[in-house]
Amino acid sequence: MKELIKSLCEHIAPPGGERALSNELLEKVRDVAHQTSIDRLGNVIATKNGDGPHVVLMAHADQSGVMIMDIADKGFLRIIGAGNLEPGRLVGCQVVFQNGVKGVVQLEANTKDAEIRFDHLFVDIGKSSKASASELVHIGLSGVIVAPFTELGATRICGGSMDNRVGCAIAITAFRDLAAMNRHVSVVFTAMQTVGARGVGAATFALSPDLAIVVDAGPCDDVPGHDVSSTELGKGPIIQVMDGTAIVSVRIRRHLEESAKKKGIAAQFGVWPKGSADTDAGAIQLTKAGVAVGGVHYPARYVGSTSTVVDVQDAQNAAILIVEAASSYEG
């Protein structure tokens, strides 16, 4: 799975700019699917017709980024956030825009760290005038922070797009395994999740699943400064109880927990306040007359920063848990 994650991390995919990544995601599942498509909103959808209730795996394809909102007279770029990046963490980071232009994010002079907002930031792309900068970039062009895939020992990896390329890799793996079992399963790599779950509702409406399982990064707090660690890296996948968008029903949560026990997988439980780990779950849950939804997430350190750390073993176990839960679900 590590190599799959690495290949997915090579793409730039800010919200609304997922197309290049979408094409690769489609190729990863096309050979085992009966139907594949990319819908009007950019969601990648693949379905395998088969036995049992229709279970849909949901993993967002986009990553948090920035967007150019103005080009100043001296060629500096003003940016806004597109996703959940914290502006104070971007100072000094490199950014790459969708057309390949690179720059460095810097801070206006005399700005206190505690006061940093996006309107205090600018990007230097090496140009000295608005005219010369405008030859390379334009207002509305999106980009992402440069933080390449890096291995941290045998099983741990980090990078700027771990959230949610790891989730995409988990969903690909689980979808292929369930297709091989001839289950009725779909996978959706959703668009524009990081700017408010914009894509997932349309895909859910079109598929009308019996159960949707969301795969995303689950913030873990096993780092200095936290007295209590409710979720930890390397301690197994996280079964979602609640995030800022949805509360998972007791019935679905228990099914996921029982599935983990059946496979001998140690599972953790995620209860996150609004804004700390919002997923596609809420938008799925409220589609049509309501959709049963669960969440199986991989622990991730530093969600919302420029580089996230995950453990590949957690991701592998998340895929195993999802396959067991989806194949044994009776509706």
CA dihedral 64, 68, 72, 77 (to 10 degrees): 40
The last residue of a domain, from among 119, 145, 171: 145
In this structure, the answer to whether residues 70 and 51 fall within a common structural domain is no
pLDDT of residue 166: 98
In 64-142, which ranges are continuous DSSP H helix?
130-134
Mean pLDDT across 37-42: 96
In this structure, the answer to whether residues 123 and 241 fall within a common structural domain is no
Does residue 111 fall inside a structural domain?
Answer: yes
The last residue of a domain, from among 89, 120, 145: 145
Percent of the chain, pLDDT > 90? 89
Does residue 131 fall inside a structural domain?
Answer: yes
CA angle (217 as vertex; 101, 235 as ends), nearest 5: 135
Q: How confident is the model at residue 230 (pLDDT cuts 50, 70, 90)?
A: confident
How far apart are the C-alpha atoms of 85 and 277, rounded to whole Å?
Answer: 13
Mean pLDDT across 323-330: 98
Contact (Cβ atoms closer than 8 angstroms) between residue 185 and residue 54: yes
Q: Is the pLDDT of residue 274 over 80?
A: no
In this structure, the answer to whether residues 164 and 139 fall within a common structural domain is no
- Indicate the number of domains in the chain: 2
Contact (Cβ atoms closer than 8 angstroms) between residue 80 and residue 122: no
The last residue of a domain, from among 93, 110, 145: 145
Does residue 155 fall inside a structural domain?
Answer: no
CA dihedral 317, 279, 68, 43 (to 10 degrees): 80
In this structure, the answer to whether residues 123 and 24 fall within a common structural domain is no
Q: Which CATH number goes with the domain that contains 82? A: 2.40.30.40
Which parts of 1-101 are beta strand (E)? Answer: 35-38, 44-48, 51-60, 65-71, 77-82, 94-97
pLDDT of residue 147: 93
Mean pLDDT, all residues of the chain = 95
Q: Is 3 left (phi over 0), alpha (psi -120 to 50) or beta?
A: alpha
pLDDT of residue 228: 67
Does residue 281 fall inside a structural domain?
Answer: yes
Alpha-carbon distance values, 18 to 44, 66, 150, 258 (Å):
10, 14, 22, 35
Does residue 312 fall inside a structural domain?
Answer: yes
Q: How many CB atoms lie within 10 A of CB 132?
A: 14
Contact (Cβ atoms closer than 8 angstroms) between residue 263 and residue 321: yes
Does residue 228 fall inside a structural domain?
Answer: yes
pLDDT of residue 229: 67
pLDDT of residue 221: 85
How far apart are the C-alpha atoms of 63 and 321, rounded to whole Å?
Answer: 25
In this structure, the answer to whether residues 184 and 136 fall within a common structural domain is no
Q: What are phi and psi of 213, to 5 degrees?
A: -115, 120
Q: Letter for the amino acid at 226?
A: H
Task: Tell me the CA end-to-end span of the chain in Å, nearest whole number.
Answer: 30
Mean pLDDT across 238-244: 94
In this structure, the answer to whether residues 301 and 191 fall within a common structural domain is yes
How far apart are the C-alpha atoms of 190 and 60, rounded to whole Å?
Answer: 4
pLDDT digits (tens, 9 = 90+) for 96-112: 999 999 999 999 998 88
How far apart are the C-alpha atoms of 79 and 325, rounded to whole Å?
Answer: 42
In this structure, the answer to whether residues 320 and 173 fall within a common structural domain is yes
Q: How confident is the model at residue 84 (pLDDT cuts 50, 70, 90)?
A: confident
Q: Is the pLDDT of residue 49 over 70?
A: yes
Contact (Cβ atoms closer than 8 angstroms) between residue 113 and residue 153: no
Does residue 277 fall inside a structural domain?
Answer: yes
How far apart are the C-alpha atoms of 244 and 121, rounded to whole Å?
Answer: 28
In this structure, the answer to whether residues 45 and 170 fall within a common structural domain is yes
In this structure, the answer to whether residues 187 and 50 fall within a common structural domain is yes
pLDDT digits (tens, 9 = 90+) for 262-271: 999 999 999 9
In this structure, the answer to whether residues 183 and 125 fall within a common structural domain is no
In this structure, the answer to whether residues 225 and 320 fall within a common structural domain is yes
pLDDT of residue 99: 96
Q: Which CATH number goes with the domain that contains 218? A: 3.40.630.10
Q: How confident is the model at residue 312 (pLDDT cuts 50, 70, 90)?
A: very high
Query: Which domain covers residue 303, as residue numbers?
Result: 2-63+160-328
Does residue 322 fall inside a structural domain?
Answer: yes
In this structure, the answer to whether residues 26 and 110 fall within a common structural domain is no
pLDDT digits (tens, 9 = 90+) for 120-138: 999 999 999 999 999 999 9
How far apart are the C-alpha atoms of 9 and 6, rounded to whole Å?
Answer: 5
